[in-house]
Amino acid sequence: MASRLDQSAGLTGQRRSIADRLMDEADHRPARVPTRAVLISIAGIWLCYLGLITLRSLLLDRAYFVEMLGLRSLVTLAGMTVTALAWLILRLFDNARVGLRMGIALVVMLPAALGLAMINRQVFAGLDQKILEEKRNPTEVQIRHDTAGNVLVDIPDPPQLTPDQLATLQKKFAEQALWRQLTDIAIGRYFLLLAWAALYFAMVTAQQARAAERREGEYKRAAKAAELRSLRYQVNPHFLFNTLNSLSSLVMTGRAQAAEKMIQALSSFYRRSLAEDPTGDVALDQEVALQRAYLEIESARFPDRLVTGFQIPQELESASVPGMILQPLVENAVKYAVAPTRKPVTVTIAAGQEDGCLVIAVSDNGPGARKDPKSGFGIGLANVRDRLEARYGAEASLTAAPAETGGWRAEIRLPLERHDG
């Protein structure tokens, strides 16, 4: 028996150490925004840009609309790619301070914006050349818009300029327009990229907050499980000593058959109790079967005094209850009703249903009042109350008082749930 207890304790310690290691790894693992969510955010912000600039083109200037839509789509794909590459750098600072994140975003997005401006220039270079060829000899002032949304005024060439002078002037204006266009586009892309960076870091903060909530929930569940396990292991520590003393008396008086029956009942009781999860629930019929085994052990101690009764409706046999929740109540009934008397005492376990609640009563027709508060009677009841509160909160209760017909009655009320197993 001792070896089985040691093995059970060893397995429990191993499971607990594995769980502790897993929780420690989860604590040190940084919270990451899912890649899918990041890519969706990148696609979303760039598609929004494409939609807005296309709508502006429809409203203000429909010239070359189809060609420009295709080119803008290419620029949008390039923007998505560059943003994804920038994300690979930003994600390295997910757990950094807010100020450092902002600084990194300001630095990283600057070359990204310049690169996008140059890509935009190269993509639209062919279309710009086509427009210039068509308007090489304008006869009047024309107004148009460039790809960045700027208003451009085409003025006819002054007739008094020579061809060489005109070429030099056009080249100078072209260079100035190029750098101005690159600057304007880069500034627009820079703030667009910074807007996405702010969105990304907001997603990181939200993910970290959710991870913290999950860890807090895991800690609470682990603490509650530890509390339930501790309360479960507090059940009847002196029961084994009483049983062994009774077994010793049976052996010494030569009552070998009664001693063998007690050993079998004791083995059955501990086999069932040790096989269950200390924090798990069991079906009501399993809990009652465990208490039957316990009462069989006690009947060997009090063969002429202990009478048992069970009133469990068949429809409630599958009801879910915390494992060994009845043990302290049944043990108290034997200890305070059967042991002190010389006449037969009936210990009854009954179950019923009231207002959607499962009601389980452990009653006896013994002396009734429990007069000695220092005898340990209150410890058993406190154990049951603590387990019920840890498992169900305010939805469960325990009452214990003298019965109206004499004796003592302890009653548990808890939510009626069906056991899955």
For the chain, the farthest-separated pair of C-alpha atoms sits apart, in whole angstroms, at 138
- Specify whether the CB–CB gap between 368 and 409 falls below 8 A: no
Q: Please tell me the predicted confidence (pLDDT) of residue 153.
A: 56
Mention every residue, 6+ apart, whose C-beta is less than 8 A from residue 251: 259
Low-confidence ranges of the chain (pLDDT < 70): 1-30, 61-62, 128-129, 131-179, 219, 221-239, 273-279, 368-379, 421
Phi, psi of 313 (to 5 degrees): -60, 145
* 134 contacts: CB under 8 Å, gap ≥ 6: none
Q: Kindly provide the b/e burial profile for residues 218-228, where b requires at least 16 CB atoms within 10 angstroms of the residue's own CB.
A: eeeeeeebebb
Q: How do beta strands 345-354 and 320-322 pair?
A: unpaired
Provide the pLDDT for residue 38.
92
Whether the Cβ atoms of residue 81 and residue 191 lie closer than 8 Å to each other: no
Q: Using the 8-state DSSP alphabet, how is residue 31 labeled?
A: P
**Are the beta carbons of 363 and 407 closer than 8 angstroms?**
yes
Per DSSP, which regions of 150-243 are E strands? 151-154
Residue of 277, 369, 276, 290 whose CA lies nearest to 328: 290
The pLDDT value recorded for residue 13 is: 46
- DSSP states of 125-168 as a string? HHHHHHHHHHTSS-SS-EEEE-TTS-EEEE-PPPTTS-HHHHHH
Residue 397 is predicted with a pLDDT of 93
Tell me if residue 253 falls in helix, strand or coil: coil
pLDDT at 168: 58
| pLDDT for residue 414 | 94
284-297 pLDDT per residue, tens? 998 998 888 888 88
Is pTM beyond 0.95? Reply is no
- Give the 3-state DSSP-derived string for 45-71, with helices as H, strands as E and coil as C: HHHHHHHHHHHHHHHHCCCCHHHHHHH
Q: How far is CA 233 from CA 5, 242, 275, 327, in A?
A: 12, 17, 13, 12
What residues contact residue 249 under an 8 Å CB cut-off, 6+ apart? none
b/e for 334-344, b at 16 or more Cβ within 10 A?
bbbbbbeeeee
pLDDT on residue 7: 40
Contact 114, 186 (CB under 8 A): yes
Do 351 and 362 form a contact (C-beta atoms < 8 A)? no
Q: How far is CA 208 from CA 6, 211, 284, in A?
A: 41, 5, 42
Predicted confidence at residue 16, as pLDDT, reads 45
